[in-house]
Structure 1
Amino acid sequence: MHTIGVLNISGKLEQEYIDSLEKEHYQVVSIESEQNLDDTIRQVDGVIIFDENQENVGGVCNLILSIKKESQALVWTASRNIPSVNRLVYLQLGASGNIEQKCDPEELRLIIRNTLNSSQRDKEKATKKEKPAVDIQLNHANQSVSIEGEKEVSLTRLEFQIFGVLYENCGKAMSYEEIHQEIWGDKQVVSKARIANLIFHLRKKIEKDMLNLQYIKTIRSRGYMLIVSK
């Protein structure tokens, strides 16, 4: 089930549009304020930003940028009437579409459904492409790794641990929080900088070309993913 967040900047998205989305079996949640955005953005598949009379264009722009930076959620803007220049700006910032309130609720449902389905297919295709058949061997005794039959590369304890976490979750995006929990548990505060530093040194040891990374992919604003096959 997809989850759609509704963030009303000014005015309120009419209930008939929400009812139409719920008929598609989407869970529609209200994002009460911009301050709560960080708490909910990673839990939704898309966000409708409603600015009834286009009174806060700057705020809408900032929200689109924040959402696209912090998550992979899709974004739609909605209003009674959106000037063409604003429509173009929103799309350039990463919005998936602009919806005016003259839009029929059924049309809104189809726009949201088709965009989500297209995005899901793109993700599935990307996942398939990101799993080349690569031989990888972990040597726990020597705390080393061998990729594609090449000589073993010695790692530090933490480098080996973080590689092991990514390897056990091969093909899955691991967040900074998940990586931290696997290595340090609840003993320390999550440090994205520390994890990023470990990944940097790990890449220097296993990647053939630091400008053309093959094995450890950065998932923007989320974490990392190992894209080799077990």
Structure 2
Amino acid sequence: MYALGVLSANKTIQESEKERLFTDFDISIYDLENVDIDSLQGIILQKNEQIQIEKLFQWLIKVRESPLKPIWILSNEPLGEEKIIYLKLGVTGFLVESDTFDEIAWTIKNGLHCMTVEKERGFYLDPSSFTVLISDTKLVLTKLEYMLLDYLYTSGNKVRTYEEIAHYLWEKEEVPPKYRVANLIFHIRQKIKTIDIKYADVIKTVRSKGYRLNLPDESIK
């Protein structure tokens, strides 16, 4: 069962819809202003004339301080260029009230499921804040550290050479020296060690070749 917090100035979700979400989609709805955020798996923030934009941003900032969870903005019409602002603040996606109930429900259910699967791995990367969630603890990385870790993560078991990593991180430079890559790897390892020792060797050095990600077996389901 998923717990979904909703910030709304009116009863956006009717009682009959709440019942369907509960019985057909395993989603329970809670008033965001009267529930512990850490107990939720996802959040919907309604954007309309009744909710001031300042309040919306305050909630986005507050939510980012809690364990990672998907956030949707629900509006009565499609948003324009302002979407990019919300995405930079960590919003996962956007819902429009004119969409059918099933479209909205499945969008939420799929998003909650994906987040749950990734968290069960014990290792989750969040591009909106350059953070990695390890064993339920959020670790803040620099932009380059995050890019490197994400590059290895998306490469699966493939070994990435020093040259490939350097080109990915500093593509506008000619050929950055190997020590710059090695230095970044060192700092990432040191940060991760402080979170969970079983992830100490999460970045494996393949001698004379490069690096690959080496997640513990129990973190891969």
Q: Which residue does the alignment assign to 1:29?
A: 30
Indicate if the aligned counterparts of 2:18 and 2:28 stay in contact, CA closer than 8 A. no
Matched residue SS, 1:212: helix
The Cα of 1:17 is off from its aligned counterpart by 4.4
Indicate if the aligned counterparts of 1:4 and 1:47 stay in contact, CA closer than 8 A. yes
Indicate if the aligned counterparts of 1:11 and 1:51 stay in contact, CA closer than 8 A. no
Q: Which residue does the alignment assign to 1:40?
A: 36
Identity %: 18
Q: Which residue does the alignment assign to 2:45?
A: 49
**Letter matched to residue 26 of structure 1:** I
> Any unmatched runs of 5+ in structure 1?
129-170, 176-208, 218-224
Indicate if the aligned counterparts of 1:11 and 1:50 stay in contact, CA closer than 8 A. no
The Cα of 1:77 is off from its aligned counterpart by 1.2
* Structure 1 CA distance for aligned equivalents of residues 101 and 76 of structure 2: 13
Is 1:118 matched with 2:114?
A: yes
Indicate if the aligned counterparts of 1:46 and 1:73 stay in contact, CA closer than 8 A. yes
The Cα of 1:71 is off from its aligned counterpart by 2.5
Change (3 A) 1:174 1:116: closer
The Cα of 1:174 is off from its aligned counterpart by 7.2
For the aligned residue pairs, the C-alpha RMSD in angstroms reads 3.0
Pair member with larger Rg? 1
The Cα of 1:103 is off from its aligned counterpart by 1.3
Is 1:2 matched with 2:9?
A: no
The Cα of 1:54 is off from its aligned counterpart by 7.0
Change (3 A) 1:216 1:7: same
For CA contacts below 8 A with separation 6 or more, give which structure has more relative contact order: 1
* Structure 1 CA distance for aligned equivalents of residues 79 and 193 of structure 2: 45
Change (3 A) 1:20 1:108: farther
Is 1:60 matched with 2:37?
A: no
* Structure 1 CA distance for aligned equivalents of residues 110 and 83 of structure 2: 19
Change (3 A) 1:127 1:42: same
Matched residue SS, 1:109: helix
Which residue of 79, 104, 109 maps to 1:83?
79
Output the TM-score relative to the length of structure 1: 0.52
Indicate if the aligned counterparts of 2:44 and 2:72 stay in contact, CA closer than 8 A. yes
Change (3 A) 1:101 1:76: same
**Letter matched to residue 85 of structure 2:** V
Question: What is the correspondence of 1:1-230 to structure 2 with a 5 Å cutoff?
Answer: 1-8=1-8, 10-15=9-14, 17-22=17-22, 23-31=24-32, 33=33, 36=34, 40-53=36-49, 55-127=51-123, 172-173=135-136, 212-213=189-190, 214-217=192-195, 225-227=196-198
**Letter matched to residue 216 of structure 1:** T
Change (3 A) 1:90 1:174: closer
Aligned length: 142
Change (3 A) 1:96 1:174: closer
> Any unmatched runs of 5+ in structure 2?
125-133, 139-185, 200-215, 217-221
Output the TM-score relative to the length of structure 2: 0.54
